[in-house]
């Protein structure tokens, strides 16, 4: 008897749905242990092998990189000269490579690459200044002590807060401040840009940055999570009155679907905001988003691009969503004292290490394959993306060298 691949996948997916990973709740008043649980030796070996492969690849490719990788075409990096929204991830990847390998060439290249982002400190036309400046300039300051990096990151935070709409209490995602188009558009991704504002308040002593971050997070918490913990990509407001319009999408399948990378941005971002503020509602929201995403994983632990697209669980994958989700779950495991989140994160990272690296290609310039940038636009299907490489290394170092990651991006918790 022959069995089709689709039948096998459907059977496996059904079994996964019946036995999907669940994370037990913490009872009121129950003490939690925030110390990382030991990781299984086989997982550690696989993660070290993946990190070694990444370092080998970066050694070969980094000398040829003169701008900011944005994605691959036929396995070779395509570049942006100003960094687009992803410019911080290339220097961030080099910083992670330096922390792992201690090779000073990576440190020098990270600094040189970050310096090219200097004009973007004054860019008020994007919400992505956290993505641009946290893994590059904030990390550079934390690892070198050179105050020029700190000053530039604070300038970027000054640019970001100009996008705050006090009527709706949100940071608009896209478009110039003078452009009415998209003036009321909020996206789940912005949760990951808020830590730049928390950094600016810590460094300056001025609460205005963190106040705006908190207000945006409260708004996002109010409009994005559905009762089951899934999220849309977009939520629209009337920019003049701040009134709610409703959910929407750009990169997800529909306004009622759940774009997997957006879900990962949300769970990681709310966890970070909980760590920076101690607000238990942010913690609860992070757990709600995490629990949905964990339950939606297929048995191979590589997320499909949208958890509610019609062809899931047989649809194309987005390994970048898996890498981001793994980092967020590791963060949440420590912040919540729930080791089950760490266990899922380890399964995600080992799955990426086993099935999503570019090891079988002699021409590939990236580390991680099987990523999807913008499925509805048919843009970047099953390619490599710079943030997949960055978050894979961040996740691996969170497991293997957490003290080094703490030096780079600050894993402290005020709660």
- Residues annotated as part of the active site: 128, 189
What CA–CA distance (Å, rounded) separates 386 from 400? 21
Angstrom distance (rounded) from CA 88 to CA 128: 10
Q: Are 277 and 270 in contact (CB under 8 A)?
A: no
Q: Which helix (H) or strand (E) holds 154?
A: helix 147-161
**CA–CA dist 414, 210 (Å, integer):** 14
Report d(CA 83, CA 122) in Å as an integer.
14
Round to whole Å and give the CA distance between 386 and 93.
Answer: 8
Query: What's the half-sphere exposure (Cβ side, CA atoms, 13 Å) at 145?
Result: 0
How far is residue 354's CA from residue 356's CA, in Å, rounded to a whole number? 6
- The widest CA-to-CA distance across the chain, in whole angstroms, is 70
| Residue 370 to residue 317: CA distance in whole angstroms | 6
Q: Which long-range contacts (CB under 8 A, 24 or more apart) does 353-360 make?
A: 353/46, 353/47, 353/49, 353/50, 354/46, 355/300, 355/302, 356/302, 356/317, 356/319, 356/322, 357/50, 357/53, 358/57, 358/75, 358/384, 359/53
């Amino acid at each position: 008897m022959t069995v089709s691949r689709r039948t096998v996948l459907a059977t496996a997916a059904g079994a996964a749905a019946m036995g999907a990973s669940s994370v037990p709740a913490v009872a009121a008043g129950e003490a939690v242990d925030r110390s990382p649980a030991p990781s299984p030796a086989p997982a550690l070996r696989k993660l070290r092998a993946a990190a070694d492969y990444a370092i080998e690849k970066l050694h070969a490719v980094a000398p040829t990189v003169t701008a900011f990788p944005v994605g691959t075409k036929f396995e070779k990096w395509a570049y942006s000269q100003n960094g687009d929204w992803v410019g911080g991830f290339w220097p961030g990847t080099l910083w992670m490579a330096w922390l792992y390998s201690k090779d000073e060439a990576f440190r020098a290249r990270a600094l040189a690459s970050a310096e090219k982002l200097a004009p973007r400190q004054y860019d008020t036309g994007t919400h992505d200044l956290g993505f641009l400046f946290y893994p590059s300039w904030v990390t550079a300051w934390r690892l070198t002590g050179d105050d020029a990096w700190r000053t530039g990151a604070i300038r970027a935070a000054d640019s970001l807060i100009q996008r705050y709409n006090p009527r709706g209490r949100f940071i608009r995602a896209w478009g110039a401040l003078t452009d009415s188009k998209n003036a009321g558009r909020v996206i789940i991704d912005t949760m990951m840009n808020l830590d730049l504002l928390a950094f600016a308040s810590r460094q300056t002593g001025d609460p205005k940055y963190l106040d705006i971050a908190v207000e945006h997070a409260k708004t996002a918490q109010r409009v994005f999570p559905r009762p089951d913990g899934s999220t849309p990509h977009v939520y629209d407001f009337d920019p003049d009155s701040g009134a709610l319009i409703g959910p929407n999408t750009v990169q997800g399948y529909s306004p009622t679907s759940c774009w997997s990378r957006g879900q990962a941005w949300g769970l990681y971002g709310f966890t970070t905001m909980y760590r920076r503020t101690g607000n238990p509602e942010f913690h609860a929201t992070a757990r709600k988003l995490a629990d949905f995403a964990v339950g939606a994983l297929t048995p191979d632990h590589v997320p499909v691009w949208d958890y509610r697209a019609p062809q899931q669980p047989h649809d194309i994958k987005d390994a970048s969503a898996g890498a981001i989700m793994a980092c967020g779950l590791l963060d949440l495991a420590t912040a919540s004292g729930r080791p089950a989140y760490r266990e899922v994160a380890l399964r995600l990272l080992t799955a990426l290490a086993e099935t999503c690296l570019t090891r079988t290609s002699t021409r590939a310039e990236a580390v991680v394959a099987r990523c999807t940038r913008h499925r509805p636009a048919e843009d970047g299907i099953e390619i490599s993306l710079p943030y997949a490489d960055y978050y894979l290394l961040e996740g691996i170092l969170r497991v293997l060298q957490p003290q080094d990651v703490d030096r780079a991006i600050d894993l402290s918790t005020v709660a």
